[in-house]
């Protein structure tokens, strides 16, 4: 699966309705269009990244290269529970 218009529609809708109730009602959209699409993207590019620069690493899993959508709001003035963007990381060497 690739990123589709639905991925960006989900992120836009989340930014406008950033609440647990809305997220729970739209969890299927999150799973299909945010999480699955991002994990597929990471898996698809990991071999190309390694060929381009062997020290680069990617883990196609949640809390690997794909960071959680939940925000840590303990010390933040913004108490929005979710991050309305994709957050992926890639690194050099072991992780």
- Calpha distance 68→85 (Å, rounded): 10
* Confidence (pTM): 0.85
| pLDDT at residue 82, rounded to an integer | 96
User: Can you point out the beta strands (E) in the chain?
Assistant: 56-57, 91-92
Question: What is the rounded distance in angstroms from the CA atom of residue 29 to the CA atom of residue 23?
Answer: 9
Q: What is the pLDDT of residue 94?
A: 60
Compute the chain's Rg from CA coordinates.
15
Cα separation, 33 vs 87, in Å, equals: 14
What pLDDT sits at residue 95?
A: 53
| Residues of the chain below pLDDT 70 | 1, 94-95
Classify burial at 12, counting beta carbons within 10 Å of its beta carbon; exposed 0-12, middle 13-18, buried 19 or more: exposed
């Amino acid at each position: 699966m690739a990123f589709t218009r639905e991925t960006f529609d989900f992120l836009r809708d989340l930014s406008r309705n950033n609440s647990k109730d809305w997220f729970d009602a739209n969890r299927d959209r999150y799973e299909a269009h945010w999480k699955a699409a991002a994990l597929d993207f990471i898996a698809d590019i990991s071999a190309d990244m390694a060929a381009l620069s062997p020290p680069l690493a990617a883990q196609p899993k949640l809390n690997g290269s794909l960071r959680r959508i939940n925000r840590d709001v303990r010390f933040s003035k913004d108490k929005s529970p979710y991050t309305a963007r994709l957050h992926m990381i890639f690194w050099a060497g072991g992780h």
